[in-house]
Amino acid sequence: MSVNQGASRDAVRMPGGEAPFYQPVGNEVEIFETAYRKRLPVMLKGPTGCGKTRFVEYMAHRLSRPLVTVACHEDLTSSDLVGRFLLEGAETVWQDGPLTTAAKVGAFCYLDEIVEARTDTTVVIHPLTDHRRHLPLEKRGEEIEAHKDFMLVISYNPGYQTVLKDLKPSTKQRFVALTFDYPPEEKEIPIVARESGLDQALAAKLVAAARKARNLKDHGLQEVTSTRALVYAGSLISGGVPPLEACLVAIVNPQTDDPELVEALMEIFRAHL
């Protein structure tokens, strides 16, 4: 769930119901649990659509913590995170932002694609990452101490970064960084099958094709075929769309506008499906 500015009242998602399905790839679950016990903030590094968000949802459920997710964007201000005064009738009332809400209630706060936010926004999280775990609410002239169970998690896609847009080293070094990538074949097949409703044999063909397609990264593709795209294609196939049509609309078209690259990618999918 994403939280937009001023939407902090709806921001907290309580754990409950069934655990989200997450297939661990390495020792990320154990490391995250230890970081949580030691109150260390965590950064999830990796390409889009490889399981970072699902992992946080799973961990929040596993550790019985509410989750507050903020999809960061370039217009996100520090007030969007921390809070602001709003006019209600003749009165001005303070409304906590999602970061403040999470710090107060002891939720996990997941700042997705933090690098999209402006640097002056990013620095508001610094005091929450040091041992005092405090959050200055400058506009209120107040400082709050984070709840003992509060945890800050950020995601970061190194592939998108340019010299102009990168996280400051002073921000990065405040986090324990877990590296994510598309799962290995033997794990990606059951993930795609389970998430999309495809049988294992067809999921295996999709994954094999994707692994070939990912090699085209060096040929001008900014993005490669993600696990998410495979799940989308698989879902269309299990919903009755012919397999190659599904690969075209769910994997290839969103990835490139270049007709030659479209053809090169479709060649790979035709060879496998």
Encoded tokens for 212: 């070939």
Residue 22 sits in the site that holds ligand ADP (CB under 6 A): yes
Which amino acid appears at position 170 of this protein?
S
What is the rounded CA–CA span in Å between residue 19 and residue 102? 21
Q: Taking the CB of residue 169, how many other CB atoms lie within 10 A of it?
A: 8
Straight-line distance from the first to the last Cα atom of the chain, in angstroms, rounded to the nearest whole number = 34
Smallest distance, Å, CB 24 to ligand ADP? 7
Rounded to the nearest angstrom, the gap between the alpha carbon of residue 243 and the centroid of all alpha carbons in its chain is 28
Residue 234 sits in the site that holds ligand ADP (CB under 6 A): no
By CB under 6 A, name the one of 8, 100, 227, 255 that touches ligand ADP: 227
Smallest distance, Å, CB 53 to ligand ADP? 3
Stretch of 32-40, 43-51, 69-77, 259-267 lying at the interface with ligand ADP (CB under 6 A) = 43-51
Residue 51 sits in the site that holds ligand ADP (CB under 6 A): yes
What is the number of residues in the chain?
A: 273
Q: 40 exposed, middle or buried (CB, 10 Å; 0-12, 13-18, 19+)?
A: middle
Kindly write out the interface string for residues 125-164 of this chain, putting x where it contacts ligand ADP by CB under 6 A and - elsewhere.
----------------------------------------
Smallest distance, Å, CB 234 to ligand ADP? 10
Element (DSSP H or E) covering residue 62: helix 52-62
By CB under 6 A, name the one of 228, 234, 236, 255 that touches ligand ADP: 228
Are residues 224 and 47 in contact, defined by beta-carbon separation less than 8 angstroms? Answer: yes
By CB under 6 A, name the one of 80, 96, 116, 195 that touches ligand ADP: 195
Q: Which residues bind ligand ADP (CB under 6 A)?
A: 21-23, 25, 48-54, 183, 191, 195, 227-228, 231
